[in-house]
Amino acid sequence: MSEPVLPEGVERRSIDGNERLATRGEPVYGEPTDGEWRAWNPNRSKLGAMLELGMDTGLEGGDDETVLYLGAASGTTVSHVADFAGPTYAVEFAARPARDLLEAADSRPRLFPLLKDARKPESYAHVVESDVDVLIQDVATRGQARVALENKRFLAEDGRLLLAVKARSEDVTRDPGEIFAEVRDALSVADGYEILESERLEAYHADHLGIVARPR
């Protein structure tokens, strides 16, 4: 594994006797802490896994970095993002995890939960800025490439897409490698994305692919 490129506000620290990625913030999912620092568990976070694997996410951190996060669930990963980034819009469709997401946002003034469907970006277009720096997607649905393409409207020209592809959400019967190839092809249409890097996340998440891309 190569050394991860870490954004400002993310550090590698010794917590619980282990070297871990960490951010400053209130704990959300029972993760170990050391003072104001909370460990970022890559086994529970696809973005954390991408950083651990040394993928160049393009995340810089800081108050000026805006993020749109699709598939925020109960806030495990997006809470870490809001610890180091600026305004972070967190889209989650299911009501039950959204309640936990709201709790995670209580201590994070830069985290804005949206109970919306990532497949219908028009439903939150009036809230989300039109030039976010980073689009992070971790949704369990068919048509994950289509979701990324439809939400490209929010991404700045020099922005980044950080996509965690779940093969089993597309088709549980097919070879994940075939699905990953199809997703890459679907993203690479003329008005879509240029893929900068992709890597299997098997060390932390079975049948997942991490993709870093930028809009064409």
| Region of residue 157 (phi > 0: left; psi between -120 and 50: alpha; otherwise: beta) | alpha
Quick one: 59-215 is in which CATH superfamily?
Vaccinia Virus protein VP39 (3.40.50.150)
pLDDT at 130 over 90: no
**What is the reported pLDDT for 4?**
57
Binding-site residues for S-adenosyl-L-methionine, please? 76-77, 92-93, 117-118, 138-141
Q: Mean pLDDT of all residues in the chain?
A: 96
pLDDT-derived band at 129 (thresholds 50, 70, 90) equals confident
The tens digit of pLDDT for each residue in 41-55 reads 999 999 999 999 999
**What is the reported pLDDT for 26?**
97
The tens digit of pLDDT for each residue in 84-115 reads 999 999 999 999 999 999 999 999 999 999 99
pLDDT at 1 over 70: no
**What is the reported pLDDT for 3?**
62
Q: Which of 28, 18, 9, 157 minimizes the C-alpha distance to 85? A: 9
Q: Average pLDDT for residues 133-140, to the nearest whole number?
A: 97
Yes or no: say if 186 and 165 are a contact pair by the CB < 8 Å rule: no
> Strand, coil or helix: what is 135?
strand
| Region of residue 61 (phi > 0: left; psi between -120 and 50: alpha; otherwise: beta) | left
Per-residue exposure over 157-192, b if at least 16 CB sit within 10 Å of its own CB, e if not: eebbbbbbbbbebbeeeeebeebbeebbebbeeeeb
The tens digit of pLDDT for each residue in 149-180 reads 999 999 999 999 999 999 999 999 999 999 99
What are the sequence ranges of the domains in the chain? 59-215
* Angstrom distances, CA of residue 67 to CA of 17, 142, 174: 32, 23, 32
Binding-site residues, please? 76-77, 92-93, 117-118, 138-141
How far is it, in rounded angstroms, from Cα 57 to Cα 24? 20
Listed in sequence order, the residues at least 6 apart from 99 whose beta carbon sits closer than 8 Å to its beta carbon are none
The DSSP symbol for 216 reads: -
